[in-house]
Structure 1
Amino acid sequence: MGTWIRTGRAAAASVLACAVLLVVQQAWFFGGWGGAEVSTFVTDASYVPLALVFTVLGARVALSKRQEPRTRRAWQVITVAFGCQLAAHCAWFVQNHVLHVTGYPLTADYCFLLFSPLMFAGLLMLPGQYRRRRDRQRLALDALIVGAGGFIAIWYLLLGPILHATGLTRWERLFTAALPIGDLLLVLAMSTALLRRHQPEAPAPVRLLAGAIALTVTADVSYSWIQLNGGFTGGSWVDLLWLAGCFLLVLAADQQYRRPRNAAPRRADRNVVFILPYAAGIAAYLLIAEQSSHLPLNPYGGMILGSAVLTLLVMARQMHALRDNREMAVTDGLTGLANRTLLTERLEQLARRPIRPGRHTAIMLIDLDRFKPINDTFGHEAGDAVLVAAAAALRSVVRSGDLAGRLGGDEFAVLVQDLPDRETAGVVAARLLEALRTPVIFGEHVLMVEASIGVVVRDDPHASGETLLMQADTALYAVKRAGRGRYEYYSTVMDTRAREAELRQAVANDELVVYFQPAVALATGEIRGVEALVRWNHPARGLLGPGEFIDLAEETGAVVPLGAWVLRAACREAAGWRAESPGAEALRLSVNLSPKQVAQADLVQTVEAILTETGFPADRLTLEITESVILQPDPLTIGRLEALRDLGIELAVDDFGTGYSALSYLRRLPVTILKIDRSFVTGIADDAEARSVCEAVVHLGEAFRMTVVAEGIETPDQAAALIDMGCGVGQGFYFYRPLPPPEATAVIRRQFSAVVGS
């Protein structure tokens, strides 16, 4: 069962089966089929598969590496609680319908009792948003208010009657009282889990758990009340609540497993959760009023009424204070506009809404031109006056349903909704530009400012709020480069330009790093050379492989300075190996040349200058070119490649066989190495056709008197097959992955120091 349930389809099928089972049971109940005894049997039997499924699904979450450690630990405890529920339902069915055991409490009752403290602990262990001490204190107070309201209700309905009930032994009385106390713990845990707003809202699994607990507690209280006032009969309406709670536990476990480890935060609508403490207080006073309705108005009735009114007034005052705090938290103190927090929240709301025809949303990023000279010349007070005037100008244009805010400094943002078409966004932007040109009077000075605006009209339903803001910023950047004082729509072309600028800046800022993948002699495993492979250590996105940026570099021409940087860095590193390990003189270094580099008129001079600068010998360097270079080489290209060969540099055709190679040009070009693409190597160990094709390529290289190097070797069988074909050199994950410079240095030292020592 555990293995079967790990697959997505199996889990979905089990959830669907539980839903069908619940519907069938309720149809059986409302249909009144089979009489009371059969109805009880069907109801008690329905619990077992539901409990089995939510226990297995809970175990799947508890063991899953997809969950963060704190979530996994919490669900481990919750799964134990689920297991107690499963044991309780199985024991209940066996005791009532197989063994016909009577008495109280039985094994099932003890298992039901264990569920509450375990579930209480598991819910409190669930990770929540980081909170200050003051926030934790407020959370504790809110949870205690809910708990106090629940205690009053449970005392009135159960604990009081239990303490005064006759015919119970002391143990039976304590055990019976422990059940509602366990429910009270669940109420406390549920309110805590909801009020602390996980990441930063209570996600779907937590809300489902809270719903299950609410149904379970309601059913438990109803069950205990019925027991105290006449006796409970299985198969009644209370079972419908318990079964519905079990099904919500199934959904909660399934949703938690499907939830991404780092789910994108979403703004929560906390209205329902926010009123939990107030609802609990009001409910408690209603119970007090009902219980004390027989008391005389003077003095008890008046005191209770006055206390209730006073509490309600305090609640109302607190709600006003919280609303004021909220406004302060999302309002810019200088301009009175929305601040970055509110703008970000509203952007995320907009990003989650479906795009409707004829209802366009535009995001405008506004930057004041020549604001810094005003600040520097006339002081910060003048700058503040300009910012306040700019805020007033935005208010004069923006409609009541839209939002204008200040992101910080002299940067503003406007969110405009329900526009009939894209062009209307330009009309709004033009009106904003005109309003922002209004002179600002500061003392004896007249301050003139203008603005630049980047406009993005939302057309991608999957774009996040952060993405939309970045696109508006890209459009704003384009405006500033084009001369300021105007607006511009975002386009993907701008994005390419911005990424090109970012990539060129990465070269200038030394954000690139060269990894090295060794190529080995297939027969012995000895390292014969290393291939230099570039990576981008992006400050925001982490380490990026070449697939993330090389195509962009080729498209924009940024590959030329990037390629020169890679060649220089690789030669410098390899020259260091030669100096530190005397046995490494024979090591070859391979570096890729892009088609745009080969087309550069100064290619030979650039390579020669780098070799001179780094001290790496030309006869140990291999430059790899792609098939697109050899397909139709012009005389100038052939001349440059021959000049590189005359320096002593070897030339290799990389990824041979992936394009449309012209064999005649292999004879004309000064190429001495043929690198077989990984697509030919995959499958050669067990596919006769793939093996034949690969062997043909190897023999082709031999026919042209070239050294053949196989790429992408991942298994020993592939290596053995290549040896049988006559291929002597290869590289791939089976031997080495691309290594960062420190690891590559260690590998080189280890091999060539051993060679020298021997």
Structure 2
Amino acid sequence: MTQNRLVRAAVAGSGALYAGFLVFYVGDWGGQDLRSFVIDASYVPLAVLATLLAVRIVRLPGLDPRTRRAWRFIAAAFACKLAGQTSWLIEDAVLHRDAYPAVADYLFFAFVPIMLPGLLLLPGASRGRADRVKHALDSLIVGASAFMMLWYLVLSPILEQRGIPASALFFSAGIPIGDLVLVLALAVLLLRRSTGADTSVRLLAVAVATLVVGDTSYAYIQLHDGFVSGMWSDLMWFTCAYLLVLAAHRRYREAVQDPAATHARRTGTNWLPYGAIALAYALLGTLAGKLGLFPLGGMIIGAILLTSLVVARQMYALRENRELAVTDGLTGLANRTLVTERLAQLTAQPVREGKHAAVLLIDLDRFKPINDAYGHEAGDAVLCAVAAALRSVIRAGDTAGRLGGDEFAVILQNLPDAAVAERIAQRLVDALRTPVIFGEHVLGVEASIGVALRGPDAADAEVLLQHADTAMYAAKRSGRARYQVYTPELDPRARDTELRRAVAAGEMVVHFQPAVSLTDGSVKAVEALVRWNHPERGLLMPGEFIDFAEETGAVVPLGEWVLRDACRQVAGWHATIPGADRVRLSVNLSPKQVVQPGLVDIIRGILDETGFAAGKLILELTEGVVLEPDAQTVARLEELRDLGISIAVDDFGTGYSALSYLRRLPVNILKIDRSFVTGIADDPEARTVAEAIVRLGMAFRMSVVAEGIETAEQARVLADMGCGYGQGYHFYRPLDGAVAAEALRALSPR
């Protein structure tokens, strides 16, 4: 931290030095010797600081290899410039030598070939072959324009000189030629639009540009009048030195703030080649006036006009192509490409307090049935209506786009507070409920919307989209046609980790609901029901976590734990409570557990571990598991039956019931869903259906258990039908282990 403060102080000091240099230079203070010494000496601290900052970047941990190689060359070029500045200070201000070329000139000349690979190695955006060819042509345009300027100002006058020493001629011509190469590298760098450290690259480019101007003027002055310190080339060189300091400091800050930062690829027009063409034409016009070529002036003006029209036409075509490339052809909204670009631009900005942004992912509910029933034209009409609804709700400056199919996205920027995103999401939900008229049909369409708010933990584009997607699927699970704001609790990975941790940490508890005989009221079995004793949210019912556990697979370790704990507790009752050994244990088996290849071995191991008798265990399967079982599932269930374990079908009648599986599978208990029990006391139709299910179970020689019995009349009616067992609040609510044990002890014979 102290080192960073020293560096910031040094950079601030370099700015003060630059300001002082400008005052001294413009004020024209002192005689020539004083001016030479002050100006020459002022370069050295800037060169030292720039070199140290560049070395600091090279030594920075975590820098990508290509950037590190580039800055090694740049640091070496800075060091070469430092050596040249020091040599020039001694030769010009101390020894007063006027030899040309001086030793410093050789060092300055070496700056170009060392700096060149550094500029070319700086990372750029990944481009296709067509882009590379286009950028090469643009770079050559810039180079050709620069060559015209250098030829007119320096090279042509050099070649016209007579009697110049070979070394002087070499340096006078070599400096502009080297600068021309730097201009080409600079053009390549800018046209490539580097994906990283954009500000530092721009500072570096401007520094190189001022160096080229300074070198060109130096070569020109040296040929005609002879150069002395204090001429305006010094102003360009000193500006270059200060910009090099800023570029190196900025690059380090960018790397420290985010070593992997990448800016969004810019797709706008790059004006650099067009500016170079304009500069070349300006030179032609000046030359025509100077040499008296105005008979050709009309042709030059015409050429400039024609080129301008071609450029304007190209710019319009590029704009039109750009709009076509980023617009969804059906809805006219932004397509996935533009949405991705806008999202990248949003996330490239720093997260600031008081500035809010959000991403909304919108998925239409039950869109496929519309396509299937009415055809794709109806589906297209719905999509266009959705686009119109989005436009009517979002604000100017926000982005609405179609990602594909029936999935849309909205990017909200510059929100005054996070609640605005929720209000917009609710307005979208309401707007999308509007029916769509298609011919003679009225098509209903609704949408589920996931809202992800940008913040310190969701500043990245990919993370924002993941959060919005997670929230959107949570909205669908919650009943569709609504919006859901992302919270960490919705994250499948985080929730899965939390659920598995809860199992390992002992936060799960088993409650037991007794099932009784409808003839004498005696307890015949207890059903194990899991609860989550959450440390923050309290006791959670299965509805709050079982479905999610099924989705993620966490239900497998959870189901094993429930079976083990329930067997352990009930085995203890059997051993300590008189008469309790007649009570059987019923445990639900999830669909994911049923398809486990090692299911039988797992259950056998749990029974051996807890000492629970297999003949006292009932495994309950949902109807969906056994509706169309494969051969392996049937084999596993038969193997469990052979161990003495009973198999029950839970919630019978709520799925797509088929009588065939009752014959194919080793099922010996049928549990009637509570929906068939409600109303049987006073609804003849409900009573008839319930009786049919009871008779069906009896026909297959199964024990029938009715769930959800809440009144004595319901229990009496079921008993009259022949239903043997019942379970519900009329008899017992789910009880924790200790209370259930006390209830059994109270019923045991004295």
Superposition deviation, residue 381 in structure 1:
4.3
Question: What CA distance in whole angstroms lies between the structure 2 residues aligned with 1:504 and 1:118?
Answer: 53
Match of 2:340 among 336, 341, 344: 344
Partner of 2:115: 119
Question: What CA distance in whole angstroms lies between the structure 1 residues aligned with 2:472 and 2:137?
Answer: 47
Partner of 1:623: none
Match of 1:222 among 209, 214, 217: 217
Question: What CA distance in whole angstroms lies between the structure 1 residues aligned with 2:132 and 2:143?
Answer: 16
Structure with greater Cα Rg: 2
Superposition deviation, residue 419 in structure 1:
5.5
SS at match of 1:12: helix
Match of 1:88 among 78, 84, 87: 84
Superposition deviation, residue 106 in structure 1:
1.9
TM alignment of 1:405-416, pairs within 5 A: 405-416=401-412
* 2:49 is the counterpart of 1:58: no
Partner of 2:496: 503
Pair 1:226–1:603, CA change in 2 (3 A): farther
RMSD: 4.3
1:369 is aligned with what amino acid? D
Pair 1:355–1:147, CA change in 2 (3 A): same
Pair 1:299–1:449, CA change in 2 (3 A): same
Deviations 1:630-653 (A, max 9, x none): xxxxxxxxxxxxxxxxxxxxxxxx
Pair 1:46–1:328, CA change in 2 (3 A): same
Pair 1:412–1:128, CA change in 2 (3 A): same
Deviations 1:502-552 (A, max 9, x none): 5269979xxx9xxxxxxxxxxxxxxxxxxxxxxxxxxxxxxxxxxxxx999
Partner of 2:262: 265
Pair 1:28–1:372, CA change in 2 (3 A): same
Structure 2 portions without partners, runs of 5+: 505-533, 572-586, 588-599, 611-750
Superposition deviation, residue 558 in structure 1:
8.6
Deviations 1:303-342 (A, max 9, x none): 2222211111111112112212322232223322112232
Pair 1:552–1:158, CA change in 2 (3 A): farther
Partner of 2:627: none
Superposition deviation, residue 6 in structure 1:
11
Partner of 1:160: 156
TM alignment of 1:467-486, pairs within 5 A: 467-486=463-482
1:498 is aligned with what amino acid? D
Pair 1:614–1:226, CA change in 2 (3 A): farther
Match of 2:238 among 237, 243, 246: 243
Partner of 1:206: 201
Moved more, 174-183 or 420-429: 420-429
SS at match of 1:100: coil
Pair 1:216–1:477, CA change in 2 (3 A): same
Question: What CA distance in whole angstroms lies between the structure 1 residues aligned with 2:325 and 2:499?
Answer: 37
Would the aligned equivalents of 1:337 and 1:406 in 2 still touch at CA under 8 Å?
A: yes
Deviations 1:670-714 (A, max 9, x none): xxxxxxxxxxxxxxxxxxxxxxxxxxxxxxxxxxxxxxxxxxxxx
2:41 is aligned with what amino acid? A
Question: What CA distance in whole angstroms lies between the structure 2 residues aligned with 1:316 and 1:70?
Answer: 38
Partner of 2:394: 398
Pair 1:558–1:400, CA change in 2 (3 A): closer
Partner of 1:151: 147
Match of 2:22 among 26, 30, 36: 26
Question: What CA distance in whole angstroms lies between the structure 2 residues aligned with 1:462 and 1:275?
Answer: 35
Question: What CA distance in whole angstroms lies between the structure 2 residues aligned with 1:603 and 1:230?
Answer: 104
SS at match of 1:131: coil
Deviations 1:480-510 (A, max 9, x none): 122111234x253xx21334675269979xx
Match of 1:384 among 370, 375, 380: 380
Pair 1:42–1:420, CA change in 2 (3 A): closer
* 2:233 is the counterpart of 1:234: no
1:22 is aligned with what amino acid? Y
Superposition deviation, residue 205 in structure 1:
2.2
Deviations 1:423-467 (A, max 9, x none): 554554344334323333456654321112234555769734444
Identical columns (%)? 49
2:431 is aligned with what amino acid? A
Deviations 1:609-649 (A, max 9, x none): 8697599999xxxxxxxxxxxxxxxxxxxxxxxxxxxxxxx
1:120 is aligned with what amino acid? L
1:397 is aligned with what amino acid? V
Superposition deviation, residue 270 in structure 1:
7.1
TM alignment of 1:316-327, pairs within 5 A: 316-327=312-323
Would the aligned equivalents of 1:338 and 1:404 in 2 still touch at CA under 8 Å?
A: yes
Pair 1:177–1:501, CA change in 2 (3 A): closer
Pair 1:174–1:424, CA change in 2 (3 A): closer
Pair 1:417–1:104, CA change in 2 (3 A): closer
Moved more, 380-389 or 149-158: 380-389
Superposition deviation, residue 44 in structure 1:
0.8
Question: What CA distance in whole angstroms lies between the structure 1 residues aligned with 2:189 and 2:94?
Answer: 39
Would the aligned equivalents of 1:209 and 1:249 in 2 still touch at CA under 8 Å?
A: yes
Pair 1:468–1:101, CA change in 2 (3 A): same
2:72 is aligned with what amino acid? Q
SS at match of 2:410: strand
Would the aligned equivalents of 2:468 and 2:486 in 1 still touch at CA under 8 Å?
A: no
1:307 is aligned with what amino acid? A
Partner of 2:521: none
Partner of 1:252: 247
1:71 is aligned with what amino acid? T
SS at match of 1:235: coil
Superposition deviation, residue 375 in structure 1:
3.2
Number of residue equivalences: 541
Would the aligned equivalents of 2:360 and 2:410 in 1 still touch at CA under 8 Å?
A: yes
Question: What CA distance in whole angstroms lies between the structure 1 residues aligned with 2:410 and 2:274?
Answer: 36
Partner of 1:368: 364
Question: What CA distance in whole angstroms lies between the structure 2 residues aligned with 1:356 and 1:461?
Answer: 14
Question: What CA distance in whole angstroms lies between the structure 2 residues aligned with 1:216 and 1:307?
Answer: 32
Deviations 1:35-94 (A, max 9, x none): 321121011112222222222322333344422111111222222222221221122122
SS at match of 1:331: coil
* 2:325 is the counterpart of 1:332: no
Partner of 1:532: none
Give the TM-score normalised by the residue count of structure 2.
Answer: 0.63
1:497 is aligned with what amino acid? L
Would the aligned equivalents of 2:489 and 2:495 in 1 still touch at CA under 8 Å?
A: no
Moved more, 368-377 or 250-259: 250-259
1:221 is aligned with what amino acid? T
2:112 is aligned with what amino acid? S
Superposition deviation, residue 97 in structure 1:
3.1
* 2:129 is the counterpart of 1:133: yes
Question: What CA distance in whole angstroms lies between the structure 2 residues aligned with 1:411 and 1:81?
Answer: 52
